[in-house]
Structure 1
Amino acid sequence: MIRLFIDGGSNPKKQCSSIGILLINNGRQTQIGQKLANYVDNHQAEYLALIKSLELLIENELTEQLILCHSDSKMLVDAVNKHYTSNDKYKYLLEKLLSLLQHFSNFHLKWISEKENRGAHELAKQALYSK
């Protein structure tokens, strides 16, 4: 089983955004904090964190394992689980996510509190404020 914690961050004043990914596989942690090339809002950063996570899992041929993914973005979790967003700004990101999810046989996305998502949050925050 793979546990995945994701978060996105955005700073409108500095016009920068980031993602944080914490992947736990067989007791080993992989931590990714990455500043995004372009500024996006916080919701878009959340989508991009999940997209990057799925791409990493596909690249590492981990699509057949049980994957429990956790996000503190209720909007993201609801959109992915319902396969729908009413916001045109996020539709292309949701379509990309749903396309990537077709590669996975046992993927589950669950909402958790910000407190429970502290690891991914800190990674995104560190990347957001790094120079």
Structure 2
Amino acid sequence: MGDYEKTLSFHRKALNFQENVQCNPLGRAITYANLGETYREMKDYSMALTYFQNSLDIREKKLPENHPDLAVVYHNLSKLDLSIRQYNLAMKNVQQAINIGQLKLPSTHPSLIEYRETFEKIHKKMQLFFG
């Protein structure tokens, strides 16, 4: 069993447990995000999108609109969008992550720095693609 298969197995077991017991939905949202990131790394973008969307849906219902955990999902979505060359959508999602990060995180926070680095990657790709 390869590393991705082990990771997927672990996260699926966690999700199965979370779905079958009275569990905090935000815990399930984290598991969905972890599954989405694993599928993104495997280049199974359709499955990644499904899990990221599930994570976002839960977090949007349970968290304030500018919660840093929402920024994490928007950032994950932007990386997925970048992978499938949906540059406009990637830019929209990374900008949401940055906006939330700037409101809620110190300017030197590693997540905010990562969001800005992703923004630069997307910006460079858009310049190459759109001229």
Indicate the structure (1 or 2) with the bigger Cα radius of gyration.
2
Query: Which structure carries more relative contact order (alpha carbon 8 Å, separation 6+)?
Result: 1
User: TM-score, normalised on structure 1?
Assistant: 0.30
More strand by share: 1
Higher share of residues assigned helix: 2
TM-score (norm 2): 0.30
